[in-house]
Amino acid sequence: MPTSSSVPAPSAAAIAEARDRAIAWSVDHLGTTDPYTVVLLDYVRRRFGLRALDGTAAQLDAQTGIAEGPEARLIDPRRRPTEADLPSDSYSLVAAALACDGIGAPDDFSERLTEAVDLGGYDLTHALVARLVERSLGCREHVSPELTNDLETALRAEIAASHTWDDLAIERIAVLDTVADVDPGDFAIAALLSTQRADGSFGELPADDLGVRTHATALAVWALSAATLPADPQEQLLRAELPMRG
């Protein structure tokens, strides 16, 4: 496993090869991938022009109108969160952001986002995804430039301190793409490449659960695409084009 002390930069060819193998594995398992992971793959497809992932759109279309839950709007952009989706004692940061142009985010949303800096882990990565959601919807962003900097700094510290490369570790690297002009560094990419399985998938052993592997591999596709391909800054997390309802 690489350490952060002295890591040679992985070649562009090595990163691209790992990316393409991960994409091929994701395509092969698309039919059994959960819809929220497909949302990530579809965003990466549009953001980086990955034609190999064109099947993600049809997968999401099939879920349109039947998606349920606080974050269902990620799958069907017309399905806005309700007050029942945002209980005062416990709510998803991403779900709160998805409500920004409807019922509005909870009163303590800014406070919860700020707390994510100290809480770390998935709270930290989900705060940056919430920022991406609010930007997608054209809302006033609760994540200020100062908070964005604090989130990025905390995220980099967690990446540098990583000793395992599980789903969360890969998510940390991937969501750095949500911060303009930020790259994860040679150490993170080298560590990520070292954990790729022989079949092209990701997910630290013994993570043999297919759901864990599909999500971890989708995040790796995002991270490796951001490291090798130009992004379309106009593409947003929420889809713009939707099928007509019968």
Question: Contact 48/59 with Cβ under 8 angstroms?
Answer: no
Give the Cα separation of 193 and 42 in Å (integer): 22
Q: Around 215, how many Cα atoms within 13 Å sit in the side-chain half-sphere?
A: 16
Q: Around 223, how many Cα atoms within 13 Å sit in the side-chain half-sphere?
A: 31
pLDDT tens, position by position, for the chain (246 residues)?
444 445 678 899 999 999 999 999 999 999 999 999 999 999 999 999 999 999 999 999 988 778 888 999 999 988 899 999 999 888 999 999 999 999 999 999 999 999 999 999 999 999 999 999 999 999 988 999 999 999 999 999 999 898 888 899 999 999 999 986 667 778 889 989 999 999 999 987 655 677 789 999 999 999 999 999 999 999 999 987 554 443
- Sequence-distant (≥ 6) Cβ neighbours of residue 124 within 8 angstroms: 116, 117, 151, 154, 155, 158, 172
Give the Cα separation of 98 and 86 in Å (integer): 10
- Sequence-distant (≥ 6) Cβ neighbours of residue 188 within 8 angstroms: 159, 162, 173
Instruction: Tell me the one-letter amino acid at 194.
Output: S
Task: Kindly report the pTM of this predicted structure.
Answer: 0.91
* φ and ψ at residue 2, rounded to 5 degrees: -65, 150
Give the Cα separation of 224 and 204 in Å (integer): 17
Q: Which two tokens stand for residue 236?
A: 């947003």
